[in-house]
Structure 1
Amino acid sequence: MSQITRRSLALGLPMLALAGCGTDRPVPATSGTIRAPRLTPPRLGDSDPVSFAAPAPDRYAVHGIDVARFQGPLDWRQARAAGVNFAFIKATEGGDLLDPMFADHWRGAGRAGVARGAYHFYYFCTPPEVQARWFIRNVPRTRGMLPPVLDMEWNPFSPTCTKRPPGAEVRRQARIFLAALERHYGQRPIVYTTPEFYRQNDMGRLNEEFWLRATAKNVTEVYPGQSWRFWQYTATGIVPGSEGATDLNAFNGSAAQWQAWLERRQV
């Protein structure tokens, strides 16, 4: 596969683990602007490309991004025109943090016609019921939104929460959180995780729909035998309308399969 340059589309690289902080100001539950999804081909680049084994990310038809406060304001219309067909937006963390850019990103993506979903960064020092209520309080149930996402990974940078429970307890808490969100949003959430966390906690036993991080090797090499829906393949993506590095993701399927998945999975 050809590698990606700053000006070329050759998708495939290391994506950031989802994380961030926020405020405790809730976002009003508003309906937002929903448009019928229109697939646009990607014109994205990478400042530090990796040569992936086939199938490399550029072989997938549908690409998107994930964002948090670190990206700052985006020109979402420009990003949409460049092939950002979906976005997962950091909403909450633990039981009391709201990403300060969530409302801005949520509105901007919706107005630009980008299929959007919200994700929660999990803390193992707060009960799953409390974290689920916090997410529900801050993420409006919006017609056409993608399923919510539970981001589970170790957080080595937290000054307050260093707990690493055993795999059975990790999976138990995940199921409680997922069930609470499914009841509220009417869709089973997606689970995001990283290679280390996946292996240490036997996350495949959850039997959920996965969004997987694999930034140095093909996702099928990093998670052998595991089915997946989204692949986070680089943290150094170049996206028109976004300043600095941006995480890039690929959908596992063709353009027609993307449309069919949206029909099944949009809230």
Structure 2
Amino acid sequence: MQLPAVSGGGAVAAATTSTPATTPAGLSGPAAALVGKDRVKAIDVSKWQGDIDWPKVAATGVQVAYIKATESTDYVNANYDKDRAAANANGITIGAYDFAQPGTAGGVEANAKAEAAHFLATAKVQKGDMAPVLDLESHNNLSTADISTWASTWADTVQAATGVQPTVYVSPSFWDAHVDPSVASKFNLWVAHWDTDNPRVPSGFAGWKAHQYTSDGSVDGIAGRVDMDWVSDPASLVIR
């Protein structure tokens, strides 16, 4: 992901401002290992990580991997399907994310629905996955009202299709500058706030479910830097 933030690298402990645990039972596959966990180690990846050695990644203790599926209404990450399958095969629960490109073509709501439909068709979200994610870091010169309508419509479309509340990945500064706080009710929060164990929670949210603490991490099995995260009460985010 590409949010501007303070650069940094070392592992950071999870903060205490995450939302309370409500771990559900009855999960199978890789997600079964998430039950009862207060937090787990996670990464998020896209085509920029190239060919990933998933057995090596799993051996480092990573239990959740968020994988970019789409961007806008036409882009598809060519590595998505193989990374999804390989991560699952190595005991890692996956979550798919859509890099948002909000627009007004055909109307704000129609544009959001079109992007959500493209994401759903590509991501093939299913039971055992983490809740789908909207990566919101581009406003494309839309007003706060339009960005808010766009994000809300995307969330409603995805929740209607999957039966689960989606997650939004966003920095506190972007959210507070461009999105109405009322839209927080549509999402779980994955906050991007680097080099801190106490990330700032954007307006409207009670707490975070995931925290991206660096974009400069290192994980065996991935060449170059990688985004690293903590996921709090991970089983509560799994689609059942």
- TM-score normalised by the chain length of structure 1: 0.70
Task: Give % identity.
Answer: 26
Q: Among 148, 159, 165, which residue is 2:132 paired with? A: 148
The CA deviation at 1:90 is 0.2
Q: Among 95, 101, 109, which residue is 1:117 paired with? A: 95
Aligned 8 A contact 1:67 1:246 in 2: yes
Structure with more relative contact order (C-alpha pairs < 8 Å, separation 6 or more) = 2
Structure 2: unaligned runs, 5 residues or longer: 1-8, 14-27, 106-110
Q: Please, what is the CA RMSD of the aligned residues? A: 2.5
In structure 2, relative to structure 1, the CA distance for the partners of 1:133 and 1:65 (3 Å cut) is same
Aligned 8 A contact 1:214 1:222 in 2: no
The CA deviation at 1:221 is 3.8
| Alignment partner of 1:246 is 2:234 | no
In the TM superposition, what whole-angstrom CA distance separates every residue of 1:34-63 from its partner, at most 9, and x where no partner exists?
345336xxxxxxxxxxxxxxxxxxxx8411
The CA deviation at 1:242 is 1.0
* Count of residue correspondences: 207
**Other structure's SS at 1:220 match:** coil
- TM-score normalised by the chain length of structure 2: 0.77
Q: Among 196, 219, 226, which residue is 2:173 paired with? A: 196
Distance (whole Å) between structure 2 residues aligned to residue 230 and residue 85 of structure 1: 13
In structure 2, relative to structure 1, the CA distance for the partners of 1:217 and 1:35 (3 Å cut) is closer
| Alignment partner of 1:232 is 2:212 | yes
Look up the match of 2:19. Answer: none
In the TM superposition, what whole-angstrom CA distance separates every residue of 1:191-243 from its partner, at most 9, and x where no partner exists?
11123311202454222211010014444346487511000011111111111
| Alignment partner of 1:11 is 2:6 | no
In structure 2, relative to structure 1, the CA distance for the partners of 1:240 and 1:151 (3 Å cut) is same
Distance (whole Å) between structure 2 residues aligned to residue 130 and residue 223 of structure 1: 27
Look up the match of 2:192. Answer: 213
Counterpart residue type for residue 38 of structure 1: A
Look up the match of 2:142. Answer: 165
Distance (whole Å) between structure 1 residues aligned to residue 64 and residue 118 of structure 2: 24
Look up the match of 2:151. Answer: 174
